[in-house]
Amino acid sequence: MKHFLKVTDLTNDEINEVFKLAAQYKRERAATPKTLAGQSWGMLFYKNSTRTRVSFEVGLHELGAHPLILSASNTQISRGESVADTAKVLSRYLHGMVIRCYEHELLEQFAEHGTMPIINALSDYSHPCQILTDIFTAAEKYADGDNYLASVQGRKIAFLGDTNCNMANSWLLAGAHLGIDIALGGPQELAPGQAVIDDLASQGKPLTDQFTTDPLKAAKDADVVYTDVWVSMGAEEEKESRLKLLQPYQVNADVMAAAKPDALFMHCLPAHLGEEVSEDVYNSPASIVFDEAENRLHVQKAILTVLTA
């Protein structure tokens, strides 16, 4: 049994297989094999969701599984049942679970006490389904044939904004794991956290990123410029101070001009135009944000297939 709690949980060969399957599922969506036929999967949400919920629910259906939507408030978790007991009970009914939560430790507890695959659909530490989708989406633009992973290895990804968030962590993990150059541009107050540095060290992976407080230096000669929302769910009370702190790191025409002439703009959505990205960049030909959104469906179906093979 295998879990997918962070991008390093899959080997490079498994990730390349995910990409090949995602491309196949995208080309031949109506012919998706029912690799999860007869199975029931739980989807437990502690946070609201649009792309994650819909893409996983549709994906599980297309793979032949029955998805059950759960929340902390409509289960006994809200009345104090432990995560360990919940994981043990649900493992008697379900074939796997997709969980979107705050604390990453909750996912680890489900994985430890349950007897079914657990997929991280976002935690405060990591967003592995999104990062694999992002890498696949960029690879679609570069790949010649079906060697998707090789087409992005050695390329430079510039991440601007809060470089101590789950998406920045995910890029750091992916960069070290897959051989992608990562440049982080953000305020010193939001520099990469020690947890992700320790995580990479514990796996024997070198920290290969470059952090700078200069957004143009981070974006210089980048193949992809990436940003994320500045005020995440649960951090609304910090909105005013975060907008002021992060304003110099908006992805705008000046930032894109520092990147390669054919650089792509990416964002995991939802976007706040005029904050982390200017409207002209968001709506430019360089922007592939809706390709990313669509590919959540195809990549997650491929993850489910590889994880349960």
Check 3, 129, 130, 177 and give the catalytic one: 130
Decide: 122 and 97 in contact? Cβ < 8 Å: no
Check 209, 267, 268, 300 and give the catalytic one: 268
Q: Is 92 a catalytic residue?
A: no
Q: What's the CA dihedral at 194, 242, 129, 26 to 10 degrees?
A: -150
Tokens of 172: 């750091």
Check 127, 177, 267, 298 and give the catalytic one: 127
Check 3, 104, 177, 296 and give the catalytic one: 296
Decide: 133 and 144 in contact? Cβ < 8 Å: no
Q: Is 100 a catalytic residue?
A: yes
Check 199, 209, 228, 300 and give the catalytic one: 228
Q: What's the CA dihedral at 9, 204, 171, 253 to 10 degrees?
A: -160
- Distance from C-alpha of 52 to C-alpha of 107, rounded to nearest angstrom: 16
Check 51, 100, 177, 298 and give the catalytic one: 100
Tokens of 104: 């990453």
Tokens of 33: 């094999």
Q: Is 146 a catalytic residue?
A: no
> Hey, which residues are catalytic here?
100, 127, 130, 228, 268, 296
